[in-house]
A and B are shown apart, each in its own frame.
Chain A
């Protein structure tokens, strides 16, 4: 039981930070399907930094994860500029831009991983092997019955993400920037008339979404997968988008949706182990979050209210 909570949370949090990333972009009026690509490219840069630094710090150093997270955020942010350029500068179709970026990122990271590996080690592997962070348990909290598992065997990044999520909530809901950002996604004309720059706010939002998605990506790579390879593209980005939609474009409910997905995933796996099913069924159980996504869509679609101007390029002259 504890394991369900432990694994569930370590899956849910990277998902959450990616979902918040998309949420920022969409709330500003830029539809963002490119999270999948952002997280992959972010993870690539994080993994590359980790691989390059490991010889200097020596294997097993715990500091590398922090450096990797920073690099992943920077890499995701830089890569997201493509989406910004297409959607904001050139007013391209935002859905197509997102999908193309996802395809592009798979190809780009595969190529550069091989290239980097052959330059560093001489073998053109498509994988960066990464350490797994040491885990820790929060004293006292981990002994709480039932939910103690949430505070057991945590990765350091979980704390970082939790704090970051809180900061992002504050930025969105309590500050001038957040208020204008939300207004941009509803009625950019109003923001323009109020004397703020829609373009600048949307750029900021897209770059934030790239940075946060990158962090989500490296956390997956550094914990769940233990390496960076094309297997980073498993649809986590899309799952994050689904979580944001179930959360009705609000950070609080999105957090619940992510936890739900996390627990469904780990629960499915534990169920599979408990029932001692042959391994060929494991894959079937791992599908659980996706099946749930389909089911939940039926119930949530009606009540949801997406940002009104999301998907529409900002055109100052339109009446």
Chain B
């Protein structure tokens, strides 16, 4: 007999065109934090979706507390004490926190012995107590619309606690959080473990695994590669196992070869919808072959600068020059034609059309020009061959080739598609906003390599990132943004990580 609370034996799951899990066997002990590490699309989420009853495995068996189970829905799994915090929260926005938590298991009472009603006040009290026990402070009567992402996540955790789940699955819980919020979440996971809960953590972030997990299973392309004791395995070893080859954490950067200025931003001011200055009198210029990185804590006006340069937001005052030409008043398309490429922060909202196919998305910059369109008629063959070419060049993995619907692809591959589409334009200026957000090491490595290659080509690159490490690794010049002002602009080699960090906090003199 073993002491596993959950055992998954020889699990296989196929989807059209892909084997998501191939003969995977894992065992999870009671009271441990068990991490599932793997690149995007390695099959971690699929495996856990089967444990949570959302899919049924094609082969293999699942044992919970030593008994074989066959879940047909998440309700079955919940009845066995399994709970899951999904990557995309499943919350009803206009409802209060308490209403969301009790949904499905409402405390129903009978008024006057006959009239059924939901006693929400009682639920409020219970949830307040529960949230205090685990250090998850929430106000049960707040509406979800009014609370930030980190609180929404706490609501999802409370949902599991309210249903007295013993086994809790977290699917990429830190993807949406700031560093401070991540610290807080990891502390809560630690509390839960100390409270006797069993935690399964799906992630591609090795740092978090090192901080919190006891054991770690590594999946690659649907197969179980290894299960290791986290304390005895190094970060480098974990990364290599996950990607399947030696991972380079830093990229080789060639000596700078700066050319003429490409982008000049002069006294740019941008207002938000409340007429408030979010970007204040910002000036900088980027030469060909230069990576200009804007560092800053989230929400200090980074996105607005990028949007104003790309034409998605209007500049309240100031000028934007591209190759000496004033583009301040131009439409987005005219800016693109003038030589601008944009990799936006929000992939799904701005970068792609998720419900269209890969070939259509790849042609978004070109579809109206020959050979894609002649005399207003689209030519499918041109789309297909262009997509085939980009899929090869940029290593975009897609189950159904050019016909894959973008939504069904992993985030990393969606990003590769966007970057491929934009780089292929050979623009003079490329704007990257958070290009590696939510991606795994392998994909990050790939994207960093692309950015450096464009720099060698002689493109001017505006890189906006919240990851200080990324900025330090790539930038030639760093501008630190604080409350919409460019506090400091300096060559990258003259600044240390600590200095940049201090400016990010608004300290003027380092």
Per-residue contact bits, chain A 191-203, to B (CB 8 Å; 1 contact, 0 not): 1111110000000
Residues of A within 8 Å of B99, CB to CB, are: 179
Tell whether A303 is near chain B: CB-to-CB under 8 Å.
no
- Interface pair B92/A192, CB less than 8 Å apart: no
Task: Tell me whether A195 and B118 are in contact in the complex, defined as CB-CB below 8 angstroms, given that A176-B108, A187-B93, A190-B103 are known contacts.
Answer: no
- Interface pair A187/B91, CB less than 8 Å apart: yes
- Interface pair A179/B88, CB less than 8 Å apart: no
Residues of A within 8 Å of B94, CB to CB, are: 182, 186, 305
- Interface pair A193/B118, CB less than 8 Å apart: no
Tell whether B2 is near chain A: CB-to-CB under 8 Å.
no
A sample of 24 inter-chain contacts (CB < 8 A) reads: A170-B115, A170-B117, A174-B117, A175-B117, A176-B106, A179-B106, A180-B103, A180-B104, A182-B94, A183-B95, A183-B103, A187-B90, A187-B91, A187-B92, A189-B90, A190-B103, A191-B103, A191-B104, A192-B90, A194-B90, A194-B103, A194-B104, A305-B94, A319-B407
B100 interface neighbour in A170, A175, A190, A319, Cβ under 8 Å: A190
- Interface pair B104/A195, CB less than 8 Å apart: yes
Tell whether A127 is near chain B: CB-to-CB under 8 Å.
no
The 7 closest A-B pairs by CB, nearest first: A194-B104, A195-B75, A190-B90, A193-B90, A176-B106, A186-B92, A174-B117
- Interface pair A190/B118, CB less than 8 Å apart: no
Residues of B within 8 Å of A192, CB to CB, are: 74, 90
Residues of A within 8 Å of B75, CB to CB, are: 195
Tell whether A308 is near chain B: CB-to-CB under 8 Å.
yes
B103 interface neighbour in A175, A179, A308, A319, Cβ under 8 Å: A179
Q: Give the complex CA separation of A298 and B93 in angstroms.
A: 26
- Interface pair B93/A175, CB less than 8 Å apart: no
Per-residue contact bits, chain A 295-308, to B (CB 8 Å; 1 contact, 0 not): 00000000001001
Q: Give the complex CA separation of A194 and B106 in angstroms.
A: 10
- Interface pair A186/B95, CB less than 8 Å apart: yes
Residues of B within 8 Å of A308, CB to CB, are: 93
Tell whether B393 is near chain A: CB-to-CB under 8 Å.
no
Residues of A within 8 Å of B74, CB to CB, are: 192-193, 195
Q: Give the complex CA separation of A47 and B111 in angstroms.
A: 38
Residues of A within 8 Å of B92, CB to CB, are: 182-183, 186-187, 190
Instruction: Give, as a whole number of angstroms, the nearest-CB distance from B80 to chain A.
Output: 12
Q: Give the complex CA separation of A66 and B407 in angstroms.
A: 53
Within 8 A of B (CB), among A12-37: none
Instruction: Give, as a whole number of angstroms, the nearest-CB distance from B88 to chain A.
Output: 7
Q: Give the complex CA separation of A305 and B93 in angstroms.
A: 12
Instruction: Give, as a whole number of angstroms, the nearest-CB distance from A188 to chain B.
Output: 9
